[in-house]
Structure 1
Amino acid sequence: MITFLDRSTRLIGSRGSRGLAAVRPIPDHLEPPRPREIRRPAPPVRRFHPWIGPLAGVAGAGVIGGALLGGFGSMDAGRLGLLLAGEIVFLLMFVRRRHAAPLPPPLAAVDGPSGVDAPSGRAVAGDDSNGESSFERGVRDIRQTDPRFDPSRFAGYAGMVFRDAQSAWMTRDLRSLRGRVTPEMYGELQAQCDRLRSTRRVNRVERVEITAEITEAWQESGRDYLTAHIGGSIVDYTVDEVDSLVDGSRTIPRDVQEFWTFARPAGFNSWMLSAIQTS
């Protein structure tokens, strides 16, 4: 597999004005969003107004006092009791109707169905105020000069270039890559091929099982840029001129996590590999 002369080097080539691509681990599983607990206010406890009791007492006292003073001298005890009870009930109903607190309005459905948070409209990291991610914005910019551009089709092209580059690397002959890598990248790769040839070593790459996914898209200075994440596994080892193992394993696959950046002049032009970054 293509390796760097300096093991500490993580990037060869150019990504325009951008630095290293962000390496973000992908979780094994995504937890579903947890519904936010809604604390509903307890129903109000109906209490009599503090002055209802004294008012009823005063009313009752007035009636009783009138009776004692002879105002109801001609009224028997039964009628007097009914009159007193009716007057108290009337006062209670009047005050309760006047001072009863209204029920709280039902909660508006601002939190989505079943209490699950609804989209708030706030942009996530890498998004603009309209909710468009930087990747989507980059694809839209590229399509302004190339309406037929399809990120999924380009991912297939990136995977093909990766495999072809490994084949050229094994034969130490990069001529098949001309027209698909920038002059700067071609020079970098040729220097490493020359080193292998001078040390009489051959790098072998077998059982290539990779996938490519476009992770970045942008325009700058009249050029289009795309970065593809290359992930998977390969069997990668180095032998000398008598086929003795020098480095790696002939049987054990190793993990591949790389970012390959392609560039072109904006418009209907060919994409060329401009940078390789290892994670």
Structure 2
Amino acid sequence: MIPAGTVRRVPDRPGPSPVHVIVPRVSPPARRSGAWMGMLAGFAAGGLIAGSLFGGFGHALGDGDVGLGLLDLLIAGGGIVVLVMFVRRLHAARAQPTRAAARISSRVDAPSDQTTPADHPGGDSSFDRGVRDIRRTDPGFDPARFVGYAAMMFRDAQGAWMTRDIVSLRARVTPEMYGELQAQCDRLRATGHTNRVERIEITAEITEAWQDSDRDYVTASIGGSIIDYTVDQVNDSLVHGSRTIARNVEEFWTFTRPAGLNFWMLSAIQSGR
């Protein structure tokens, strides 16, 4: 089995980005009572002026009951005040439902916190942001399909390692990874040993996704079991491992590519233990 820890030069993931919360602006209801208030004030002022004029004129006429007295003006003024208060309360009562409706609309329009990261990442975790960044240049990027590719790559890499045919992986690994794998195969061949891998039973899960320096990165967690042993290539005697007992696999495989519609290449293998 390919040794874990091969080529660990993986750039650090960027820190969390600040969250910008957009608060919907609700326009205040139009003040329609202004015209009514102005009219009422005009009526009140006109009434008072008329009362004063006619009151004075009445008193000047002597005992005639033509003009409005002080009591009449007070009654008229009090009625106007009551009418003004009534209109204000009516306006306030009508304004309350408008504000309540605005608050309900804001809650309905706000985005939901429930998201499905694998298909429609709308949250704000580092994984969600990473997938969104990758999709800016590759709208069709599908984390679920990538999981299948990572598992297939794990099996193909083990097969190439066992047959020492690293050339078959050249187009699917970075140049640094290819050079390291080739060097390890050469060292194993020099010892006269052969590594054998059987009964691969693994699952893959994406744990990280991000962009750095115009490159996409995705890390897949590989877990399961595998029979992995080394034999002498001359007499097939067991050198290391077990032919029958499977051992656990817990590794992280990181893939990279230039941002956009480019082929993913294996760039690092790290042990999860």
TM range (shorter): 0.5 to 0.7
Aligned pairs for 1:242-257 (under 5 A) are 242-257=235-250
CA contact (8 A) 1:217 1:226 kept: yes
Residue 132 of structure 1, CA deviation: 1.2
Residue of structure 1 in register with 2:3 after alignment: 3
Residue of structure 1 in register with 2:151 after alignment: 159
Moved over 3 A (4+): none
CA contact (8 A) 1:13 1:185 kept: no
From the superposition, tell whether residues 271 and 131 of structure 1 become closer, same or farther in structure 2 (CA, over 3 Å).
closer
Do residues 176 (structure 1) and 173 (structure 2) align?
no
Do residues 208 (structure 1) and 203 (structure 2) align?
no
Out of 140, 147, 155, the position equivalent to 2:139 is: 147
Separation in 2 of the partners of 1:203 and 1:131? 44
Out of 240, 264, 268, the position equivalent to 2:257 is: 264
Out of 8, 12, 19, the position equivalent to 2:7 is: 12
Separation in 2 of the partners of 1:11 and 1:243? 27
Separation in 1 of the partners of 2:264 and 2:224? 23
SS of 1:178's equivalent in the other structure is helix
From the superposition, tell whether residues 167 and 266 of structure 1 become closer, same or farther in structure 2 (CA, over 3 Å).
same
Residue by residue over 1:58-111, the C-alpha shift from the partner in whole angstroms, topping out at 9 and shown as x without a partner, is xxxxxxxxxxxxxxxxxxxxxxxxxxxxxxxxxxxxxxxxxxxxxxxxxxxxxx
Do residues 222 (structure 1) and 217 (structure 2) align?
no
From the superposition, tell whether residues 171 and 11 of structure 1 become closer, same or farther in structure 2 (CA, over 3 Å).
closer
CA contact (8 A) 2:13 2:210 kept: no
Separation in 2 of the partners of 1:16 and 1:186? 18
CA contact (8 A) 2:134 2:259 kept: yes
SS of 1:14's equivalent in the other structure is coil
SS of 2:131's equivalent in the other structure is helix
Residue by residue over 1:183-231, the C-alpha shift from the partner in whole angstroms, topping out at 9 and shown as x without a partner, is 0000111111001110010000000000111100000100000000000
Length-normalised TM-score, structure 2:
0.58
Do residues 136 (structure 1) and 131 (structure 2) align?
no
From the superposition, tell whether residues 192 and 207 of structure 1 become closer, same or farther in structure 2 (CA, over 3 Å).
same
Residue 14 of structure 1, CA deviation: 2.5
Name the Cα RMSD after superposition: 1.7
Residue of structure 2 in register with 1:276 after alignment: 269
Separation in 1 of the partners of 2:237 and 2:209? 43
Residue by residue over 1:41-71, the C-alpha shift from the partner in whole angstroms, topping out at 9 and shown as x without a partner, is xxxxxxxxxxxxxxxxxxxxxxxxxxxxxxx
Aligned AA (1:253): A
Gaps of 5+ in 2: 15-112, 114-121
Out of 168, 193, 203, the position equivalent to 2:185 is: 193
Aligned AA (1:195): R
Q: Comparing both structures, which one devotes a greater share of its residues to helix?
A: 2
Length-normalised TM-score, structure 1:
0.57
State the identity %. Answer: 72
